[in-house]
């Protein structure tokens, strides 16, 4: 059966301590599903990215999407929120990226993992770069906490919202940094 690409039809925009976030969603298999979360960064606000890349989306929400939006706002102020994957549509992602995103989703608050550890967990001992690429293209930042993946040298690595937000999110979760900017924790996962 051929997979029909699903296009976001609606969005909701929220202001956070880290700038705007946009949640793009649509009804899929009779359920509202998040198709993408856009974070603001130093180059674009989420609203600008939304208008440029998804000009046909309309501002709309529903109870299920509002709950997730409020959870994201709470998470970004330091609340310990666990997001269910039931609200996101992983069907846009390749099977490999789905495995990486599910592994990343499994990293608990207050822990980090390296791209290499995740690759080994997935049975790909030389797959750190592929894991990093899959996470760099995570359509669901915050919901799937890709800020919890770091480089093997314990430097933070990249993040869609920028390095400053990645460091802030990790600090909110109790992860500290040494004077060289490396993650200083023994809470490594996988």
Residues of the chain with pLDDT under 70: 1-6
What pLDDT shows up at residue 16?
96
| pLDDT in the model for residue 29 | 86
Pairwise CA distance, residues 167 & 174, whole Å: 11
Helix (H, G, I), strand (E, B) or coil at 165: helix
CATH of domain 94-172: 1.10.10.10
pTM over cut 0.85: yes
* 146 catalytically annotated: yes
For residues 104 and 147, what is the distance between their CA atoms, to the nearest angstrom? 9
Q: How many CB atoms lie within 10 A of CB 27?
A: 12
pLDDT at 1: 38
Catalytic residue among 57, 89, 93, 146: 146
Q: What does the pLDDT read at residue 5?
A: 54
pLDDT at 92: 86
């Amino acid at each position: 059966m051929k997979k029909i690409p699903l296009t976001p039809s609606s969005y909701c925009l929220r202001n956070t301590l880290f700038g705007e976030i946009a949640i793009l969603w649509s009804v899929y298999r009779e359920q509202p599903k998040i198709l993408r979360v856009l974070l603001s960064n130093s180059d674009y606000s989420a609203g600008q990215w939304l208008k440029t890349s998804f000009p046909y989306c309309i501002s709309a929400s529903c109870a299920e999407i509002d709950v997730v939006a409020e959870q994201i706002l709470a998470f970004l102020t330091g609340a310990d929120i666990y997001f269910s994957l039931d609200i996101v549509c992983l069907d846009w992602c390749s099977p490999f990226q789905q495995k990486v995103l599910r592994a990343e989703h499994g990293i608990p608050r207050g822990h980090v993992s390296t791209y290499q550890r995740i690759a080994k967990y997935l049975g790909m001992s030389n797959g750190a770069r592929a894991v990093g690429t899959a996470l760099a293209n995570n359509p669901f930042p915050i919901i799937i906490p890709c800020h919890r993946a770091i480089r093997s040298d314990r430097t933070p690595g990249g993040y869609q919202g920028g390095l400053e937000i990645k460091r802030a999110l990790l600090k909110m979760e109790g992860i500290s940094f040494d004077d060289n900017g490396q993650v200083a924790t023994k809470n490594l996962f996988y």
